[in-house]
Amino acid sequence: MVFVTKFDGTRQPFDRNKVIGTCIKKGVNRAAAETIADMVESKVYDGIPTKKILQMIFAALEPHRPAIKHQTNLREAISLLRSKPDFENFVQLLLKEHGYKVDPNRIVRGKCIEHEIDAIAGKNGETILVEIKHHFDHHTRTHLDVSRQVRATFEDLVEGFGLGLNSVNFSKALIVCNTKFSEHARQYAKCRGIACIGWNSPPEHGLEQMIEEKNLHPITLIKGLDAKTEEKLGDNGVILVRQLIEHDLDKLSRRTGIKKDKLAILMKKAREIISG
């Protein structure tokens, strides 16, 4: 059996089905995915880093999906968004596209103190306190401290509502982050009824799946987008690949101060990514 080495140094058996899954997620058909998996399987060696496998897959996908060469890894792309306001805005958009009514960040009075809330989301009669957490290092975990803070805030707000200090009848709390959760954080949150959305968590319904399902890729997915340009776009509310192509080149260049030729290249790449 061939073992692969994950980013955190742990090893696990090579799984050809994961290769197929990645390919299909990128939009190629089953037959092509199988062919790519055959190629990868023939080349893996004991101890190969998963990052190297991902590079192989991306290279093999290019003939099928030419726009892939313009894309960085989604997980890395999200980590490159500014924490505030871009990742917060990104999560708010994500929730809206998935049928939530979303109020952006505001201050709500609890029993003991006023709390800064990242977002208030509503769906199916629930009013949800949303805590948004962004890590630049996407390989880290979101830990127990966040779950405990959310629990204490939720308690304070609910008691504040009972005392007539606020008019937001929170029924639930939700943490959205760009990493996985530590086991301790997950266990505590579950026990306290706090929902958790993070990278691949919950499995099959995590952040990645919410993005792919509605094509809500962040602009940082575009290869060659530097931090300064990302900020200028973010300051003008452009945080999704698809938002970039909704704009008129001249107007957006004037508004953001990004040079026209630079912006034209980014928009061309964005169009290719979208049309896939």
- Which residue from 123, 133, 124, 121 is spatially nearest to 168, judged by alpha carbons? 121
Between 194 and 233, CB nearer to a second copy:
194
Binding flags for a second copy, 185-214, as an x/- string (CB under 8 A): --xx-xxx----------------------
In whole angstroms, the minimum distance from the beta carbon of 164 to a second copy comes to 16
Between 26 and 186, CB nearer to a second copy:
186
Distance, in Å, from the CA atom of 91 to the CA atom of 85, rounded to the nearest integer, reads: 10
Size of the site for a second copy (CB under 8 A): 19
CA angle 88, 93, 94 (to 5 degrees): 95
Between 89 and 153, CB nearer to a second copy:
153
In whole angstroms, the minimum distance from the beta carbon of 9 to a second copy comes to 24
In whole angstroms, the minimum distance from the beta carbon of 118 to a second copy comes to 14
Distance of CA 255 to the CA centre of its chain: 26
In whole angstroms, the minimum distance from the beta carbon of 193 to a second copy comes to 10
The partner residues of 108 in beta bridges, in order of sequence, read 115
Q: In sequence order, what DSSP letters do the residues of 201-221 get, joined into one string?
A: BSTTSSHHHHHHHHT--BGGG
Residue 184 binds a second copy, judged by CB under 8 A = yes
Length of the chain: 276
In whole angstroms, the minimum distance from the beta carbon of 189 to a second copy comes to 9
CA angle 36, 41, 47 (to 5 degrees): 130
Rule CB under 8 A: which of 115-174 touch a second copy?
144-145, 147-149, 151-153, 155-156
| Residue 29 in tokens | 């058909």
Straight-line distance from the first to the last Cα atom of the chain, in angstroms, rounded to the nearest whole number = 36
Distance, in Å, from the CA atom of 178 to the CA atom of 156, rounded to the nearest integer, reads: 26
| Residue 33 in tokens | 């995915």
Binding flags for a second copy, 74-113, as an x/- string (CB under 8 A): -------------------------------------xxx
Place of tokens 């979101």: 142
Between 192 and 242, CB nearer to a second copy:
192
Q: Which residues, 6+ apart, have CB-to-CB distance to 15 below 8 Å?
A: none
In whole angstroms, the minimum distance from the beta carbon of 226 to a second copy comes to 32
In whole angstroms, the minimum distance from the beta carbon of 27 to a second copy comes to 41
Contacting residues toward a second copy, per CB under 8 A:
111-113, 144-145, 147-149, 151-153, 155-156, 184, 187-188, 190-192
